Structures are given as structure tokens and as C-alpha cells.
Amino acid sequence: MAETYDLIVIGAGPAGLSASIYAARYKLKVLVIGKEMGGLAATAHKVCNYPSYKDINGLELMQKFIEHTQDLRVPIIYQEVSKIDKKGDLFIIKADKEYKARKIVFAGGTTRQKLNAKGEEKFLGKGVSYCATCDAAFFKNKIVSVVGGSDAALTAALLLSEFAKKVYIIYRKDKFFRGDPSWVDLVEREKKIQTIFNEEITEILGKDKVEKIKLKSGKEMKLDGVFVEIGSVPEINFISKLKVKITDKGYIITDKLQKTNVPGFFAAGDITESNLKQIVTAASQGAVAAYNAYREIKQQV
């Protein structure tokens, strides 16, 4: 028979772990179910805007979140949730086994967006990567490209410049609209990095690994790696039965208490419609969600 929790947190990134820390301190019976430790935050090369750290590696920061959670004896299981349903006042969560909860904080996060360029899937792990932090060291003295214009793309290019002999940033717009000015400045001063604006990759070519790319203009470039940093998309397929309200881009709509339109179902982090998708905002949303879940539980006792 499935064990029932006061609160189950879906997601082991900043929002989910923050929610679990607060829930534990409120003495709720809480469980964290996450697909992977730290979420996308753990893949960040360098985090420079999280208070108390001048700069810190994303994986190291998320390990500190995990240690804090474990110190409060919150169980964390790494499983992929396949479905969430609601029966009466309880939520039914299906992963490797079934779990029940009175309340849910959904902090499932997002997944990397694909280029949808010809050859992208073929060369995944053979020159195509979605994680510079994971793979940069494999491209020592190589020529690589980073696709995108966000902070993630800029920091990926800076990290790669520590290993590769040349880094091209390929961006479809004519300037870095979304990049933090501090990162833009560092990129512009790094001699190994060259930016190509108003271009897109249409095809990735090679035999057994990436050898060159074809651009929208028709130009071809020889290189050894393609790092895709064009944003992410929300993971919400397995909550479809709950009829949670979402934006036209698939992000969950919440109020200021992190409540959704489904009673007892809270959402926090990058999965929400918040326009500042940062570790600090995800953590604060997780805390707010846990606090209001706790208040609801206590009112029902």
C-alpha cells in the first residue's frame, strides 16, 4: 500500500530542495522525488549572483542544497515521475512505485530545447552537447561553436574558451538582448571567442563525429563541437490529467502564494511563468510554496 505524505516535492533542483528544507522545518512529513540531482542548475559552469557566494560552480552549489536537505533527514529518491492524478483529497504520484500526498510542490523544471537541425540527433555525444560544464574538457585545442545568446550561452562560451583554441557564438539576432551586460563584456574581451550574429545552424555534418556545420546563409564552417544553449521547455506532460492552467508557452500559472488553479497543487521554479528564471528566485518560490502548503495542512487539522 502506498505511503501517504503531507507533502511530496517533485524536482530536486533549487525550487524543490528549498521547498523540502522549509517543509522539514515545519515538521511536515515530506518526500522529494527528482529525476536528477540539482536539475539544470547543477550544469551551470559558474554562478555569480547567488547571495553569499562571489562565484560558485553550479554542481557545488546544488550539492550544498542537498547536504542541507539531508541534514534535515528529508528522503530524496531519484526516479522519473510518469503521472500525477488526484483522488479525493489525495494526489497519486506514479514513479517506480506509487506515492500519495496531501499536497504537492511541483518544481519539475525544464529540459533543454533542441536546435532541430539536420544531424543534431545523429551526432549527440559525438560533438553535439547540451552541457558545456559536462563536456568542455573533451574539446581541448579544438574548434567549437555555441548556439544561443542568453547568459547560459555566454557562460558556456567563456568556459569553452579555457579549453578550445577557438569558440564561435552563433546567434540568430543582431545583438545579445538577453545577456547580462557583465557576461557580454567578458565575452567581447576574450580573444578566443568570435560572435556571428544573424545566423542559424541548419545542418551538422560529419562521418563518425562532428566535422562541420552549414549555416542558414549557406556558408559552411569546419569545427569539432556544437554546444546548444537556446533555452529550455517546461516538462508538464505527466500532469495533464490535473488540468493545471498554463500559459501559451506551457509554463504553469500561479498566484503570489505559488498556488495553481488545482487545490493543494503548488508550483515553483523554472516551470512557472516567472520571467526571472534564476536559482535565487526558484529557491524563494520553493520556500513560499512550502510555507503555504503548511498553512493549508494546519488549517485542515
Question: Which CATH number goes with the domain that contains 279?
Answer: 3.50.50.60
Question: For residues 4 and 92, what is the distance between their CA atoms, to the nearest angstrom?
Answer: 9
DSSP letter string, 85-104: EEETTEEEEESSSEEEEEEE
State the maximum Cα–Cα separation within the chain, in Å, rounded to a whole number: 67
Q: Are residues 223 and 131 in the same domain?
A: yes
Which of 184, 210, 228 is the C-terminal boundary of a domain? 228
Please name the helix (run of DSSP H) or strand (run of DSSP E) that holds residue 277, with its range, or none.
Answer: none
Q: Are residues 150 and 280 in the same domain?
A: no
Residues 6+ apart with CB under 8 A from 18: 65, 268, 282, 283, 284, 285, 286, 287, 290
- Among residues 8, 1, 4, 3, which one has the least CA distance to residue 264? 8
Please name the helix (run of DSSP H) or strand (run of DSSP E) that holds residue 291, with its range, or none.
Answer: helix 279-300
**pLDDT (0 to 100) of residue 238:** 85
**pLDDT (0 to 100) of residue 301:** 58
Q: Are residues 13 and 106 in the same domain?
A: yes
Strands (E), the chain: 4-10, 30-34, 76-78, 83-87, 90-94, 98-106, 110-112, 128-129, 143-147, 166-171, 193-197, 201-206, 210-215, 220-222, 225-228, 232-234, 265-267
Into how many domains does the chain fold? 2
**pLDDT (0 to 100) of residue 33:** 96
Containing structural domain, residue 248? 4-111+232-300
Which of 228, 245, 277 is the C-terminal boundary of a domain? 228
pLDDT in tens, 172-209: 999 998 788 999 999 999 999 999 999 999 999 999 99
Which of 180, 210, 228 is the C-terminal boundary of a domain? 228
pLDDT in tens, 114-157: 999 999 999 998 999 988 888 899 999 999 999 999 888 999 99
**pLDDT (0 to 100) of residue 3:** 87
Q: Which amino acid is at 31?
A: L
Residues of the chain with pLDDT under 50: none
Question: For residues 260 and 61, what is the distance between their CA atoms, to the nearest angstrom?
Answer: 29
